Chains A and B, each alone.
Chain A
Amino acid sequence: MRHVKILEYALASLLRRPGKTAAILVVYTLMIAVLATVLLLTHALKTEAVNLLADGPELVVQRTMAGRHELVPVEAARTVAAIPGVGSVTPRVWGYYYDSLTEANYTLQGVDAADSSLELLDGRLPQADGECAIGAGVAAVRRVGLNDDLILIDANNIGAIFTITGVFRAESRLLTEDLLVMPTESLRRFFGMPAYLATDLAVSVRNPNEINTVANKVKRLLPDSRPISRKELLRTYHAVFDWRGGMLLALFASALLAFCIMAWDKATGLSAGERREIGILKAVGWDTADVLLLKAWEGLAVSLLAFLLGFALAFGLVFWWGAPLLGGVLRGWSVLFPELRPTPYIDLYQIATLAFLTIVPYVASTVIPAWRAAVTDPDEVMRQ
């Protein structure tokens, strides 16, 4: 009951200084929103990467020469398939295409009709020569749709015409936004890639315990190869997103510092009016503990409100509006930015971290000066 009364008084005293309270609230909310956006977005991107790779092959075998990625002979697929524990080996043909018209990079991938992992499609997968399916981003920048023609410049610098038989509508657009798929043989012709070569080998390993052994054997049987397991890919993605998130946080550390200075300034410099108020409260019979409680409640009320508002703002920015401001920095695609619609989630650990980093210092910096004012003699305080 005592707490409720003190809280009531604290809220009333906040409302008595609406300008000051509003100013702090706005700055506080903005800072929390920025920090929370970075945290939420980094986590969301990492989750997207995990979801994305969940359907990928357990092992990708590339060939390297002079430390650079080389085309792998299709023959090598048979060597890899003979290793016990290997389920299937698929030579993949894919690559990049720079479209000077839209100044964007597309990812071109060869698919066989049997390929079923790309089924979220409006229309159908390309089957014949001269057909292709494109991602929603490509469709948007080239302003084409189903059954339209798409002209690309092939390896011989000759325009090739493709009929669009499908547009991807993947749930996670990170994967298909800049994608353009066509039958493997057409893509080989388009890239001028000989039939005995492929970009890499997708290897499925049935038992996850055996992936490392298979990778070691691949390395031994094909000394110029580089086996990359799904786990390693995930680790790289995590590292990249963590690094980008860390850079952003480092940039915003100055904002955090500015906020701390503001809070400190606001709190240490108790105005004469506030000091008198404390003095009067003590004179009418309040304990030092009551005054501290009052200040703590004031600080908590402002902090919690700002925290809720800021976090809600960040949540909305990231999960409904697709992070319009910071998304580009964190994702790092070149021109075709996939529209980000991550699955909303709430991570208590993140909230606790953020709350601890912001609420605790703020409350502390409001309570400590109040304590100093409260322990002095009320008569002296009021006289000043």
Chain B
Amino acid sequence: MRYLVFALLFCSLSAAALAAVPPPEEKDRCAVCGMFVAPFPQWTAALELKDGRRFYFDGPKDLFIGLFDLPTYFPGVSAEQVTGVYVTEYYGASLKPAAEVIFVTGSDVLGPMGQELVPVIGREPAETFRRDHAGKALMRFDGRQLIEIKEQP
């Protein structure tokens, strides 16, 4: 129940903040690998904190590396302070809350940092993407971790 409330809160928060994510500036670097973010607009991911700070990443992979290891990459930031997690949806090439998309792993579409978790919105497009680009598993993000979506019988 607590998780459900958390997830609901998370969704509403991210929906409210959706319009407010500006594209990265030229000098912004990936908070995990240090690469410039602006040259890869179709891969940009972003993390928003309660105090208004915003971090960019050059792909969902680096976003999750940072998010799952907050003490290393963002010392002093706790999971509760994260108010928004955004990834760039593959087909639409626009930023979407990470909880709304399905991540496809192991595909032949490579991001700036190689193999990527490719965010696709909707189950059917995700399956299409997996078929088109030799993807392996589908995953979703529940606000804390990535969970594999089991094949429906």
**A interface residues, Cβ below 8 angstroms from B:** 84-85, 206-210, 213, 217
Q: Which of B19-27, B49-57, B69-77, B127-135 contacts A (4 or more CB under 8 A)?
A: B127-135
With contacts A213-B132, A213-B133 known, is A85 near B90, CB below 8 A? yes
Query: Contact partner of A208 among B42, B91, B94, B132, CB < 8 A?
Result: B42
Contact with A along B127-153 (1 / 0, CB 8 A): 011001100000000000000000000
- Determine how close the nearest CB of chain A comes to the CB of B130; give it in whole angstroms: 12
Query: Contact partner of B109 among A84, A209, A217, CB < 8 A?
Result: A209
With contacts A207-B93, A210-B90 known, is A84 near B125, CB below 8 A? yes
- Determine how close the nearest CB of chain B comes to the CB of A54; give it in whole angstroms: 15
Contact with A along B75-116 (1 / 0, CB 8 A): 000000000000000111110000000000000010000000
Contact A84 B91 (CB under 8 A): yes
Contact B133 A207 (CB under 8 A): no
**B interface residues, Cβ below 8 angstroms from A:** 42, 90-94, 109, 125, 128-129, 132-133
Contact A85 B91 (CB under 8 A): yes
Contact A206 B93 (CB under 8 A): yes
A210 to B91, CA, bound (A): 8
Q: Which residue of A lies closest to B43 (CB)?
A: A209
Given pairs A84-B91, A208-B42, 5 additional interface contacts (CB within 8 A) = A84-B129, A85-B90, A85-B91, A210-B91, A213-B133
Residues in chain B near residue A85, CB distance under 8 A: 90-91
24 contacts between A and B (CB under 8 A): A84-B91, A84-B125, A84-B128, A84-B129, A85-B90, A85-B91, A206-B91, A206-B92, A206-B93, A206-B94, A207-B42, A207-B90, A207-B91, A207-B92, A207-B93, A208-B42, A209-B42, A209-B90, A209-B109, A210-B90, A210-B91, A213-B132, A213-B133, A217-B132
A210 to B92, CA, bound (A): 10
The 6 closest A-B pairs by CB, nearest first: A206-B93, A85-B91, A207-B93, A84-B125, A84-B91, A207-B42
Q: Which residue of A lies closest to B92 (CB)?
A: A206
Residues in chain A near residue B93, CB distance under 8 A: 206-207
A209 to B92, CA, bound (A): 11
- Determine how close the nearest CB of chain A comes to the CB of B44; give it in whole angstroms: 12
A207 to B109, CA, bound (A): 12
A213 to B133, CA, bound (A): 9
Residues in chain B near residue A210, CB distance under 8 A: 90-91
A85 to B94, CA, bound (A): 11
Q: Which residue of A lies closest to B94 (CB)?
A: A206
A213 to B132, CA, bound (A): 8
